[in-house]
């Protein structure tokens, strides 16, 4: 059995980790903690969690978690880094941004915080389908952001094959509200989001440098994104619509993608012109990728959907854990989506 | 008083026309008709309409409507054309696609129907802010589609000034479900659309030729669109996110837009980097346009929001009626949106 | 023209007052104020309000509002009372609870606050259909709560005719989330309310004493309510389902109700076994009442629907203003609901 | 391994059965069938099902399913009965109403169909917590309706202890839209249900005789229900609010319920005055029961929440299967709910 702890269990990604780990056959949950809810059991605050374990405060949990095999960090950006500095023994899967960047200066520029001695950490970017081999032996896995997961998976085969006419890629993403986490703010209240769609951080979202880092690596040259994220009136789900110039035919791209992902359990390539709904993924770790092409303008339209809290966060984190401990990659993750 | 009839009153755009016309101070509603609900009063089927007038069948209504000053056609594509052939006397505002195209062959190609003797009709494309002068004297106004209204208004100033680096424009639109009309289909059922977003007719939507016709006219040269429409889990609202290459600075574009729309009552240009929600327009005839720029890639991102049933359909139809009858353009349309 | 001020314009009832008053033909908006948003125009914070007037702070607005003919108070419970003590000249329509009770001790018990010198105020409970004559000459109108409006209107005819077998009435109400006001709390966030229904304050809601006061007055004897309010995942709307024992036949009750409300513009009695949706009222001041009977158990089921922000708050407030200034009662309120 | 077939796999309860059975460790799925989608694989129509098995037509599936150990019938009322007449060998779990009634005349009266030779069938009402022992050896289990499950579980302890002052019980239930099944009807379209609540079949719903049969059996005397079902704008979830007269104290009732359900894995009794949301159950087989009392009127208010497609249909069906095959009762059902 793997001894697992969750630091930051009461946020949405923390609760989702718990939901997934509770059904994992080889996991012993050791320590759970939270800054805001310490001192009572999780089920006291969230009766539907059916988890009677006491919530520790952060400090204490870090101490206790030294004995764990792996610790999931589901805490605000910046806090993970401090905790990782103290957690010398267990493996770490961080759901935040602190370990996602190759260059800590890029992090500093976008997140406003210096990461001291960043180079000392042995870290891997945790997009499982791309970095599986490196994840196997990593001590720290930087779980990708939700938007980046949806975008990089949708572009990886094309970029690796260098089938790009133009290194500027336009990405228009729509996210469910849970992507923002639990918020005590009228801005995220039911009344102000229900029955409305709105863009935010257009061309200026923190996930842009993360995506550009990874896409450029895949392409072998600098790639630039024009990225618009938008809040949709739904709880879960990301739909990314990606516009890219290519001379490759739609059918060739389709076959390339089928082949690229043929052994993957969670990435599903749909036939050209078959379009998915984010509903196809709710509660599951699956991703659907679909495509069409505007022949007149050499524009390939790639579409990907996933559940931002599962493949976009906690599901992929558990997928990475499975890889790190040489388990079947889909343990705890075989679940079909909830539909309808 | 203007004598007004509505053919096709029981669809969503028909009901919305009624809602708006009932508060219009100079309108006498003469005839209302419907293929599906004839023989009873409107309030019998829709008690919340408070309209006791009998619903006529289509045939009879065409006869009766000859005495009207203006007839709104809110019927399926193809049916409008047949009715217009019979309605020799009144002015006509058609909410469908039959009169939107300069070239009936384009219509035939996309809608699969031949329009005989199309050239005999004196028609104008009813995007009020662009064609106001021609609408004033038109007998038939072809009310624009909901997507085209959101896209053309957002692009008109830029195109007229020819501030385009690339004649391919990427448009990513999100629509509330009412844009599809009332549908007896599980595909549009609450369970299958709620909590999901999905693309449809990607790069292949019928509004593409309509938008390209109008945008090319504004630009003076051929413009091509890569267009992705997507269904959002909300009833009303369109959010169009438009990606266009330009060398013009963000501030110059902003000032250009402010000036272009300064006398318009329904088009509101937001300061750069202020982004609207579709909620800002629900139930109202207003449009908000906002913008930002990715300087690295010379990409201007234009965003527009409107209510697809009001400015995107019935509200603009009434706005056109006001123009056709030399009334204040906002009569019946002064209403603020419902918020929250 | 009536000089009108709104104290507390940036809450949901304040914004809704503004929306309604802007279309009122005889209103001059004089002063608007807010504790949280003073110092900028309303349109700065809420661009969709199209209201350029500056938001005053509460103190200053009270001073300025002395010159108004009528002041709407849309502020938290307790605050209204303090303001009313300072506003000696204008008529007052209070949307809170401070003036709703005949006995200030009942208020104190439920709201935890003493109302000094309560008897000095000339006040009327502002359920227009019931207290129209008294409202005409009142200086202070206590606008009813949203639940009480839906419940009292649904029961008034039956109680006045004393057609009750049992003085305990069961009321099961479902409310849209906007009834709680704008809240900076995760409890009211989109993610936690969407796709869920939940009861709160069961048998213990503050609207119980308000309803019992009014229902007992109508019945002439003490009436007791068992009241369950529930949050529904929608923005606007109240549906109250009321269970009452009676020997009267369904048809007799129907005719009684039709007659009772026959001259009312906003209360609509549906035929037995025709049931409304809250959607029939969104954005409008209308109320639908419907009924059926379980003959086996002598249980009459009364159902009422309304928009909690309109007839349940700001719409009824304007209706009361119209009565107080001898205007047509539906000025500013003729609007049909938004559907769909 | 248990050989399992699903007749009617493409409806919502059929798809939900599949979702649950796919994670069941001892199930071999043998045959799936559908009237509407036969001839292709399930994943062809529902890619998110990841089920490559071919969909048979009904006729053929009945033949094939003779070899199964158990057959789930998720077909329209009336059809089950015909199929059961042909399926002589396997055990049957019917998710419809055909086998729920002790007296086929009651069924005939409410469902308009005669059940020939009803007495020849060995059947049990499949409310697991109440009829566990009988289910163990039954050949045909009549899976309860969604409303009845929520109501009977909430009342069983009280009725068995005969703690009732009045044999008329008022039940006000709110259901997510999926309770109605997949519907090709505008009445169930997103636009017409979103942002609205509405009652239907008030005091006259087909689940009334089912509930009265079971409640009377538990009580030992005739019990009558006044029942109002209401559609809430959400996909899944039932909230039943139950009003019952009793002299028992709230605390005594609470302890009675805790004891009654102490060994149950799926029924959770909350402390008095703690109220659940239907969100606490989405996708899970759990039920929460909560209570409070209006002491003045001796009214106990019982509240229960569950997911209508899981404990209210397919989850309970699998729970019954587990009982019938002497397996752990929660196999395939240990899943926590999806939250948020």
| Chain B residue numbers touching D178 (CB-CB < 8 A) | 191
| Chain B residue numbers touching C336 (CB-CB < 8 A) | 18-19, 22-23, 48-50
Question: Domain spans of chain B?
Answer: 2-143+313-325, 146-306
By residue count, chain C amounts to 340
Q: What is the tens place of the pLDDT at every residue in A66-96?
A: 999 999 999 999 999 999 999 999 999 999 9
Express as a percent the part of chain D with pLDDT over 90.
100
| D116: preceding bond cis by omega (within 30 degrees) | no
How does residue D151 score in pLDDT terms, banded at 50, 70 and 90?
very high
| Chain A residue numbers touching D235 (CB-CB < 8 A) | 340
CA nearest to A7, candidates A37, A34, A27, A44: A34
For residue A224, the model assigns a pLDDT of 98
Q: CB distance from B276 to chain C under 8 Å?
A: yes
CB C38 within 8 A of CB C32: no
Q: CB distance from B1 to chain D under 8 Å?
A: no
The verdict on a CB contact (< 8 Å) between D49 and A336 is yes
Q: What is the DSSP string of D137-188?
A: T-SEEEPPPHHHHHHHHHHHHHHHTT--S-SEEEEEEEE-GGGG-S--SGGG
Q: CB distance from C178 to chain A under 8 Å?
A: yes
How does residue C184 score in pLDDT terms, banded at 50, 70 and 90?
very high
Give the HSE-up count for residue D29: Cα atoms under 13 Å, Cβ half-sphere: 22
The verdict on a CB contact (< 8 Å) between D19 and A339 is yes
CA nearest to D226, candidates C301, C171, C174: C301
Phi first, then psi, for residue B100 (nearest 5°) are -85, -20
Q: CB distance from C338 to chain D under 8 Å?
A: no
In this structure, what DSSP letter does residue D86 have? H
Q: CB distance from C320 to chain B under 8 Å?
A: no
CA dist D149 → B80, C294, D153, D163, D310 (Å): 51, 22, 6, 20, 11
| Chain A residue numbers touching D19 (CB-CB < 8 A) | 336, 338-339
Report the chain D residue with the minimal C-alpha distance to residue A269: D47
Report the chain D residue with the minimal C-alpha distance to residue A24: D335
Measure the CA–CA gap between B236 and B285, rounded to whole angstroms: 12
Q: What is the tens place of the pLDDT at every residue in C91-126?
A: 999 999 999 999 999 999 999 999 999 999 999 999
Q: What is the DSSP string of C93-126?
A: EE-SSTT--SSHHHHHHHH----TTGGGS-EEE-
CB C211 within 8 A of CB C238: no
For residue A324, the model assigns a pLDDT of 98
Decide: helix, strand or coil at residue A124.
strand
- Among C185, C191, C234, whose Cβ lies nearest the Cβ of A178? C191
- Among B276, B286, B339, whose Cβ lies nearest the Cβ of C15? B339
Phi first, then psi, for residue C163 (nearest 5°) are -90, 45
At a CB cut-off of 8 Å and minimum separation 6, what does B79 contact?
A: B8, B58, B73, B96
For residue A293, the model assigns a pLDDT of 98
For residue D220, the model assigns a pLDDT of 97
At a CB cut-off of 8 Å and minimum separation 6, what does C241 contact?
A: C171, C172, C173, C174, C301, C302, C303, D172, D199, D228, D230
Query: How many CB atoms sit inside 10 A of residue A13's CB?
Result: 30
CB A175 within 8 A of CB A229: yes
Bridge-based pairing of strands D299-306 and D287-294 is antiparallel
Q: What is the tens place of the pLDDT at every residue in B73-106?
A: 999 999 999 999 999 999 999 999 999 999 999 9
| Chain D residue numbers touching A286 (CB-CB < 8 A) | 48, 50
CA nearest to B309, candidates B145, B90, B197, B81: B145
Taking CA B102 as the corner, what is the angle to CA B100 and CA B105, rounded to the nearest 5 degrees? Answer: 95
Q: CB distance from D286 to chain A under 8 Å?
A: yes
H/E stretch holding B124 reads strand B123-125
At a CB cut-off of 8 Å and minimum separation 6, what does B117 contact?
A: none
- Among C168, C174, C224, whose Cβ lies nearest the Cβ of D197? C174
**Beta-ladder partners of C291:** C302
The verdict on a CB contact (< 8 Å) between B303 and A199 is yes
| Chain C residue numbers touching A178 (CB-CB < 8 A) | 191
Q: CB distance from A46 to chain D under 8 Å?
A: yes
Measure the CA–CA gap between B154 and B132, rounded to whole angstroms: 17
CB D112 within 8 A of CB D171: no
Q: CB distance from A265 to chain D under 8 Å?
A: no
CB D52 within 8 A of CB D43: yes
Measure the CA–CA gap between C72 and C17, rounded to whole angstroms: 8
- The CATH homologous superfamily of the domain defined by A2-143+313-325: NAD(P)-binding Rossmann-like Domain (3.40.50.720)
CB B74 within 8 A of CB B143: no
Taking CA D213 as the corner, what is the angle to CA D211 and CA D217, rounded to the nearest 5 degrees? Answer: 115
Torsion from C-alpha of C146, C152, C153, C157, nearest 10 degrees:
180
CB C54 within 8 A of CB C33: no
Measure the CA–CA gap between C158 and C289, rounded to whole angstroms: 13
Give the residue numbers of D marked as catalytic.
Answer: 146
Q: CB distance from A192 to chain C under 8 Å?
A: yes
Q: What number of H helices and E strands is found in chain A?
A: 11, 14
Report the chain A residue with the minimal C-alpha distance to residue B226: A294
Decide: helix, strand or coil at residue B211.
helix
CB C231 within 8 A of CB C308: no
For residue B121, the model assigns a pLDDT of 95
Phi first, then psi, for residue B287 (nearest 5°) are -125, 135
| Chain D residue numbers touching C239 (CB-CB < 8 A) | 197-199, 230
Distance from CA of C28 to the nearest CA of B (A): 16
The verdict on a CB contact (< 8 Å) between C190 and A188 is yes
Q: CB distance from B15 to chain D under 8 Å?
A: no
Q: What is the tens place of the pLDDT at every residue in D20-70?
A: 999 999 999 999 999 999 999 999 999 999 999 999 999 999 999 999 999
Local confidence pLDDT in tens for the 340 residues of chain B: 999 999 999 999 999 999 999 999 999 999 999 999 999 999 999 999 999 999 999 999 999 999 999 999 999 999 999 999 999 999 999 999 999 999 999 999 999 999 999 999 999 999 999 999 999 999 999 999 999 999 999 999 999 999 999 999 999 999 999 999 999 999 999 999 999 999 999 999 999 999 999 999 999 999 999 999 999 999 999 999 999 999 999 999 999 999 999 999 999 999 999 999 999 999 999 999 999 999 999 999 999 999 999 999 999 999 999 999 999 999 999 999 999 9
Q: What is the tens place of the pLDDT at every residue in A30-67?
A: 999 999 999 999 999 999 999 999 999 999 999 999 99
Q: What is the tens place of the pLDDT at every residue in A196-224?
A: 999 999 999 999 999 999 999 999 999 99
For residue D18, the model assigns a pLDDT of 98
The verdict on a CB contact (< 8 Å) between D198 and C276 is yes
Q: CB distance from C64 to chain A under 8 Å?
A: no
The verdict on a CB contact (< 8 Å) between B47 and C283 is no
Measure the CA–CA gap between B332 and B16, rounded to whole angstroms: 12
CB B35 within 8 A of CB B101: no
Q: What is the tens place of the pLDDT at every residue in B258-282?
A: 999 999 999 999 999 999 999 999 9
For residue D159, the model assigns a pLDDT of 98
| Chain A residue numbers touching B294 (CB-CB < 8 A) | 203, 226
**Beta-ladder partners of C268:** C288
The verdict on a CB contact (< 8 Å) between C184 and A184 is yes
How does residue C268 score in pLDDT terms, banded at 50, 70 and 90?
very high
Phi first, then psi, for residue C269 (nearest 5°) are -95, 120
The B residues from 77 to 136 touching A (CB cutoff 8 Å) are none
Give the HSE-up count for residue A32: Cα atoms under 13 Å, Cβ half-sphere: 28
Distance from CA of B192 to the nearest CA of D (A): 8
- Among D176, D192, D236, whose Cβ lies nearest the Cβ of C340? D192
The verdict on a CB contact (< 8 Å) between C226 and D243 is yes
Given this chain, do its domains D2-143+313-325 and D146-306 carry the same CATH topology? no
CA nearest to A162, candidates A214, A221, A241, A225: A221
Measure the CA–CA gap between D187 and B28, rounded to whole angstroms: 31
- Among D204, D226, D232, whose Cβ lies nearest the Cβ of C299? D226
Q: Enumerate the H helices of A205-302 as residue ranges.
A: 207-219, 250-260
Q: What is the DSSP string of B166-179?
A: -SEEEEEEEE-GGG
Distance from CA of C318 to the nearest CA of D (A): 24
For residue C59, the model assigns a pLDDT of 96
Bridge-based pairing of strands A140-142 and A91-94 is parallel
For residue D102, the model assigns a pLDDT of 97
- The CATH homologous superfamily of the domain defined by C146-306: Dihydrodipicolinate Reductase; domain 2 (3.30.360.10)
CB A146 within 8 A of CB A297: no
Decide: helix, strand or coil at residue C44.
helix
Q: What is the DSSP string of B33-91?
A: E-SSSTTSBHHHH-GGG---SBEEPHHHHHHHHTTSSEEEE-S-TTHHHHHHHH--SSE
CA nearest to D75, candidates D35, D17, D107: D35
| Chain D residue numbers touching B197 (CB-CB < 8 A) | none
Residue A162 CB burial class (10 angstroms; 0-12, 13-18, ≥19): exposed
For residue C237, the model assigns a pLDDT of 98
- What are the E-state strand segments in chain D? 2-7, 27-33, 55-56, 70-73, 91-94, 123-125, 140-142, 168-175, 198-199, 224-231, 238-245, 267-269, 287-294, 299-306
Q: CB distance from A235 to chain D under 8 Å?
A: yes
Q: CB distance from A198 to chain C under 8 Å?
A: no
Q: Which parts of chain A have pLDDT scores under 50?
A: none
Measure the CA–CA gap between A211 and A147, rounded to whole angstroms: 8
**Beta-ladder partners of D240:** D173, D304
- Among C49, C337, C340, whose Cβ lies nearest the Cβ of B12? C340
The verdict on a CB contact (< 8 Å) between A195 and B301 is no
Decide: helix, strand or coil at residue C304.
strand
- Among C47, C48, C335, whose Cβ lies nearest the Cβ of B23? C335
Distance from CA of A6 to the nearest CA of D (A): 17
For residue B232, the model assigns a pLDDT of 98
Q: CB distance from D188 to chain C under 8 Å?
A: no
Cβ-count burial A96-114 (b if 16+ within 10 Å, e if not): bbbbbbeebeebeebbeee
């Amino acid at each position: 059995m793997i001894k697992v702890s969750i630091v930051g269990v009461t946020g949405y990604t923390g609760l989702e980790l718990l939901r997934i780990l509770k059904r994992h056959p080889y996991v012993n949950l050791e320590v759970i903690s939270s800054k805001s809810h310490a001192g009572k059991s999780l089920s006291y605050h969230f009766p539907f969690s059916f988890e009677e374990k006491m919530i520790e405060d952060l400090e204490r949990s870090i101490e206790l978690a030294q004995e764990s095999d792996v610790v999931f960090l589901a805490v605000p950006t910046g806090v993970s880094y401090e905790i990782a500095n103290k957690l010398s023994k267990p493996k770490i899967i961080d759901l935040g941004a602190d370990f996602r960047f190759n260059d800590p200066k890029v992090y500093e520029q976008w997140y406003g915080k210096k990461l001291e001695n960043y180079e000392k950490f042995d870290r891997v970017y945790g997009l499982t389908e791309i970095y599986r081999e490196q994840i196997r032996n990593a001590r720290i896995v930087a779980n990708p952001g939700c938007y980046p997961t949806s975008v990089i998976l949708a572009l990886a085969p094309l970029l690796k094959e260098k089938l790009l006419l133009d290194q500027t890629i336009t990405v228009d993403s729509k996210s469910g509200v849970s992507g923002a986490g639990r918020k005590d703010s009228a801005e995220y209240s039911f009344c102000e989001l229900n029955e409305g769609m709105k863009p935010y951080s257009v061309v200026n979202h923190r996930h842009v440098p993360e995506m550009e880092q990874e896409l450029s690596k895949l392409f072998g040259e600098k790639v630039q994104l024009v990225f618009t994220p938008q809040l949709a009136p739904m709880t879960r789900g990301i739909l990314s619509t990606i516009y890219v110039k290519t001379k490759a035919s739609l059918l060739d791209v389709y076959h390339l993608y089928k082949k690229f992902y043929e052994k993957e359990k969670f990435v599903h390539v749909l036939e050209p012109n078959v379009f998915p709904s984010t509903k196809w993924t709710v509660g599951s770790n699956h991703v659907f990728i679909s495509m069409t092409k505007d022949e007149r303008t050499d524009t390939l339209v790639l579409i990907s959907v996933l559940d931002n809290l599962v493949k976009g966060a906690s599901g992929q984190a558990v997928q990475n854990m499975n890889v790190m401990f040489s388990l079947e990659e889909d343990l705890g993750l075989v679940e079909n989506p909830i539909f309808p």
